[in-house]
Structure 1
């Protein structure tokens, strides 16, 4: 018989290690294909962060890869919120069939609150960074931004 799957543990795993798919492995085991699909974009985003740290902001590969990390962290926060806010009855019916239900209390709600705050900051930062770098790339080096012409 499968072991009990805790909603609290799944929500906090999604918050802490969701970009690596830890919550998927906890819920579905190591053969979960979507869990393994979390790793390549997260690793690419981490490589972009390392490149940004070592080569600076002008490295094009870094600004292409770094938003992947932001998007993976954002989706992990969304997963944490969805898992945490699933009603206890539906959670037990899906992940703990045939077992008596357990009340989860406030721990998953706190996970959802923290994930909402962190996810909002990460997603906003990712969009701002990606947008800034995209428009810098569009203008090219030494280009004047559009606006009133000086005479």
Structure 2
């Protein structure tokens, strides 16, 4: 029996590592194994900023991968948390009755949804802003080089 609350929290807290995918679909889920790749690339982008500064072009391309992965997993936590018990149990607990306990929403589920909405949207906006800011600063710098 797959619990909706556990899946929502795993998606919110461990989603970039694929933990919610492994919980719901097992260790053979290929997307669960692929999720750590953009996470690791984004962490590498953050490390490049620490080593080379914010002018590193590769870092402003890699960091949003981490943000978009976190935001996507937060979105999955919202989807899981807001799924009706009937739909949840039909999808993940096929042998259980439609109104079985693991598919029901409680306050812990709502807490995961609220936190995922807050942090997911914040991280998504920060990733977009960081990318565009670095891109436009790079364009301005290139324009200055051309004009001189």
TM-score by length of 2: 0.89
Is 1:19 the counterpart of 2:16? The answer is yes
Pairs within 5 Å for 1:61-80: 61-80=58-77
Selected match of 1:94 from 91, 95, 117: 91
1:111 equivalent in alignment to 2:112: yes
Q: Which residue of 2 aligns with 1:125?
A: 126
User: Which residue in 2 is equivalent to 1:148?
Assistant: none
User: Which residue number corresponds to residue 138 of structure 1?
Assistant: 139
Pick aligned residue for 1:42 from 27, 39, 43? 39
- Kindly provide the CA deviation profile for residues 48-89 of structure 1, in whole angstroms up to 9, marking residues without a partner as x: 011112221111111111011111111011011001111111
Once residues 86 and 22 of structure 1 are traced to their aligned partners in structure 2, the CA distance between those partners, rounded to angstroms, is: 19
Structure 2: runs of 5 or more not aligned: none
**Distance in 2 of aligned mates of 1:132 and 1:89:** 44
Match of 1:53 among 47, 50, 55: 50
SS of the equivalent of 1:140 reads: helix
SS at match of 2:83: coil
- Separation (CA, whole Å) in 2 of partners of 1:99 and 1:76: 26
Larger proportion of helix = 2
Secondary structure of 2:96 counterpart: coil
Question: Which whole-Å CA distance do the structure 2 matches of 1:53 and 1:86 have between them?
Answer: 40
Work out the CA distance in 2 between the residues paired with 1:136 and 1:104.
46
- Match for residue 78 of structure 2 among 59, 81, 89: 81
Runs of 4+ in structure 1 deviating by more than 4 angstroms, as ranges, are none
Cα RMSD of the aligned pairs, angstroms, is 1.5
